[in-house]
Amino acid sequence: MTQGASKAVRSAGAMTFPTSLALDAPPVEGSDTHRLVRDVGDALNARLRQMHLQLLEQVPDVDRIACVLYEQSTDLLKTFVNSTREGEAIKGYEFRLADSESLSRLATSRDSRVLDDIPAAVQGNSLHSIWLLKEGYRSSLTVPLYDRDLFIGFLFYDSRKPAAFTAQVQRNLSLFSTLINMTISNELNVVRSITTSAQVAREFANLRDFETGGHLERMAHYSRLIARALAESQGLSDEYIEHLYLFAPLHDIGKIGIPDSVLLKPGRLDPEERALMETHVQMGIDVMERLIGEFDLQHLPDSAVMRNVVAGHHECVDGSGYPHGLKGEEIALESRIIAVADILDALTSHRPYKEPWTIEAAVGELERLVAVGKLDADCVNVVKDHIPEVEAIRDRYRDP
């Protein structure tokens, strides 16, 4: 836990404090690689918890603060970060903005919404309403978030007290809302700048001819599917999953440095060409490090997820991969997920030299790769258990 946060806990004094906040606070250094990775993806959540602790000193009735992000291409609102005082947090949940008339209105009008009596106001049996009632929330304040003119999501303040959001409380919260809005849009802008730069670099290098946009889109969705299914057992936050999804398409960015004679060679590569091809991982790491430097992200813990997506996607759990021959859990979870998602898409898409495999046949091959020690068994099991979802992603982002 950072110093600021522990100070805030202490000054919270006599308040009955936040079992869940204390329990999932970031642990100290020296934890194993996996813990480290998980906490890495949790940086923004940790900041939100810290702000929540400070906020409670002024406005003690706010039991929960949560932010959902809006994805324009799918019209989905997705849980992102939350700070929940006690009880269970809702995670890994998404719903269409168009399905909520009142939220759609807020998104366009920029108005906030106060509900003084949630049980009376919330109808319908969405998972979200059921959860709100079960957790005993009685009133809420909803604030739409923007990055300049672009709607980016909502901030929800919930209280177990009815009518907790008086005009005075709303005034007290407005500074916090602005602060949280800025923090989140800054973070999104950094991520967006990085993925845009990488995309521009890829387009300049004509990588599009080689690697279709469809491949990147599909493997990013497969990665997210796997991470979501592992979220509970591996303790992955929504924030981590979102970053993994956003950074997944960068995995082969180093191929921009591979000469066309090797990159576009139709037949098998000879050993020398293969060795050259394998340098794409190190070149990718160099590109990522340059971007991390360019955007001054050295100290941002999220940059580790971004780096691992590139650095570890050809490592194998038995240590036979490259560039470092890492084994098992020495390979970051995000790298193991990317490896499975990447191979799954390669098998199930058309290539000049092969027809697409069926998902079932691809799963058979992935299981064989687990048996011979190449791929992570948990990640492959998720694919095996989610065939309809895999098919839906394949069909939705089909190459033209």
Residues known to be catalytic: 255
What does DSSP say about strands 64-71 and 150-159: parallel, antiparallel, or unpaired?
Answer: antiparallel
* CA–CA distance, 156 with 138 (Å, rounded to integer): 13
Rank residues 207 and 359 by Cβ distance to Fe ion and give the closer one. Answer: 207
Cβ(157)–Cβ(144) below 8 Å: no
Shortest Å, Cβ 335 to Fe ion: 11
160 vs 336 by CB, closer to Fe ion: 336
User: Least separation, in Å, of the C-beta of 155 and Fe ion?
Assistant: 36
Closer CB to Fe ion, 24 or 252, in the complex: 252
* Nearest distance, CB of residue 328 and Fe ion, angstroms: 20
Q: What is the SS3 string spanning the chain?
A: CCHHHHHHHHHCCCCCCCHHHHHCCCCCCCCCHHHHHHHHCCHHHHHHHHHHHHHHHHCCCCCEEEEEEEECCCCEEEEEEEEECCCCCCCCCEEEHHHCHHHHHHHHHCCCEEECCHHHHCCCCCHHHHHHHHCCCCEEEEEEEEECCEEEEEEEEEECCCCCCCHHHHHHHHHHHHHHHHHHHHHHHHHHHHHHHHHHHHHHCCHHHHCCHHHHHHHHHHHHHHHHHHHHHHCCCHHHHHHHHHHHHHCCHHHHHCCHHHHCCCCCCCHHHHHHHHHHHHHHHHHHHHHHHHCCCCCCCCHHHHHHHHHCCCCCCECCCCCCCCEHHHCCHHHHHHHHHHHHHHHHCCECCECCCCHHHHHHHHHHHHHCCCCCHHHHHHHHHCHHHHHHHHHHCCCC
CB of 370 to Fe ion, least distance (A): 19
**Identity (one letter) of the amino acid at 379?**
C
Closest distance to Fe ion from the beta carbon of 364 (Å): 20
Distances (CA, A) of 323 to 251, 364, 374: 14, 27, 14
Return residues touching Fe ion (CB under 5 A): 252, 342
Query: Nearer to Fe ion by C-beta: 238 or 342?
Result: 342
Query: Toward Fe ion, which CB reaches closer, 239 or 252?
Result: 252
Beta carbon of residue 141, minimum distance to Fe ion (angstroms, whole number): 44
Complex with Fe ion: residue 108 or 261, whichever CB lies closer: 261
Nearer to Fe ion, 131 or 210 (CB): 210
